[in-house]
Structure 1
Amino acid sequence: MTPPTDPVEAHRLTQATALAAFANPARSRILDALAVDGPSTASQLAHRVGMAVGSASHHLKVLAEAGLVEEAPGLTEDRRQRHWRLAHAHTRWSRTEMTDPSARAAAYEAELVTLQRQFDRARDAVLATEGDHETDTGGFATQQWLTLSAAELRALSEELLAVLHRWQYRDLPDDGAERDTVFVFARGFPAQP
């Protein structure tokens, strides 16, 4: 998978079937594992996300039919071991761009699943550091109240995506520093205190 040259240029989900596949929590975990680990077999994914191999195979089939994953040939000589990879470096959707009510409903569910997974990860990260006052993970949390038009909020989103894109696709220095997988998310939306 070639990284996109423009972080805002992402594969846009518009079909109800793809959005419904994305909205399934087990499939979401598989997509996350592929994003972190790269091409993997159903066996490797099942172990990584804690499910039976048969279940992982079924979910991979659904994700492939939805165009979210694809086979990654040439990674093994054993034809019984198929490797899978993400079909797109980045995937986005917007309910406001959809005219099909079933796609809009599926997008809503996918957004709720994604939000719950973000919350769960953030909560787990806080709980994992309870009582640990010495380990510096470099983690951060921030919130800001801004006054923005819809166009300005879109511009802020594009700037944040560009920063994350730069960090995601940078060449890792060979400096001996220990690096962990880090989950970063940001949300911006109209709200009141």
Structure 2
Amino acid sequence: MPKEPLQITDPETLRAMAHPLRQRILVELNVREHARAADLARSLGEPANSISFHLRVLARHGFIEEAPELARDKRDRVWRPVVERFVVDRNIAGAERVIEPYLHWLRDMFLRDRDAPGARDDLHEGVASAGFFTREEAEEMTAEVLTVLEKWSERTSAAKRADPDDPRRRYYQLLFAIGPRAVDTPPEA
């Protein structure tokens, strides 16, 4: 059964989730369902002590919790997610910090092969599209896109759970946004 999204309504919790590594840890924990800092460190390519610090921050703000029944002994710390996703109150000062890692990633991905086209072995694709929608049509298309995204998320998460250390399985991200767009003013030359 899907977990309810955590409503972020205070600046401290917002700061806790604004860190891109914490966002990745939460994604990884939701896929694995539980993990130790060492497991996450191996998957994320980060030092275990750094992962441990971020796990404690996530726990302090209610995103994850310890799972002592899964521990091997009293010193073993196993963590599990409490939430799958979160919703940020846009009226909180600094609310834009949560989206900044996504926008940074999008910009980097878009510019990645500018100097060395085809030099990377991963797939990355940037697509911008437009149409003239009614609100109802935009809602219908959004529902269709979200259905496809959910299908692929479930499929790839199941494969990751089956073999969490498969080196071919990498974290890919997709951003989807739809909304009316005004004509932008070009930057000064």
Q: Following TM superposition, by how much is the alpha carbon of 1:82 offset from its aligned partner in structure 2, in angstroms? A: 1.4
2:104 equivalent in structure 1: 116
Structure 1 residue 160 and structure 2 residue 160: aligned?
no
Consecutive unaligned residues of structure 2, counting only runs of 5 or more, are 160-167, 185-189
Listed as ranges, the matches of 1:74-89 within 5 Å are 74-89=69-84
% of aligned pairs identical? 29
How many equivalent pairs are there? 172
TM-score, length-scaled by structure 1 = 0.66
Distance 1:75 1:17 in 2: 29
- Native 8 Å contact 2:19 2:98 kept in 1: yes
Contact kept in structure 1, 2:41 and 2:48, CA below 8 Å: yes
3-state DSSP of counterpart to 2:79? strand
Report the TM-score, using the length of structure 2 for normalisation: 0.67
- Once residues 78 and 121 of structure 1 are traced to their aligned partners in structure 2, the CA distance between those partners, rounded to angstroms, is 43
What is the SS of the residue equivalent to 1:70?
strand
Q: Does the 8 Å CA contact 1:13/1:92 hold for their aligned counterparts?
A: yes
Quote how far apart the aligned CAs of 1:111 are: 1.4
Q: Distance in 1 between matches of 2:146 and 2:8?
A: 18
Report the aligned-residue RMSD.
3.6
Unaligned runs of 5+ in 1: 173-178
Contact 1:18 1:68 in 2 (8 A): no
Q: 1:185 aligns with which of 171, 175, 181?
A: 175
Whole-Å separation in 1 of the counterparts to 2:89 and 2:138 = 14
Report if the CA contact (8 A) 2:113-2:119 is conserved.
Answer: no
Q: CA deviation at 1:145?
A: 1.0
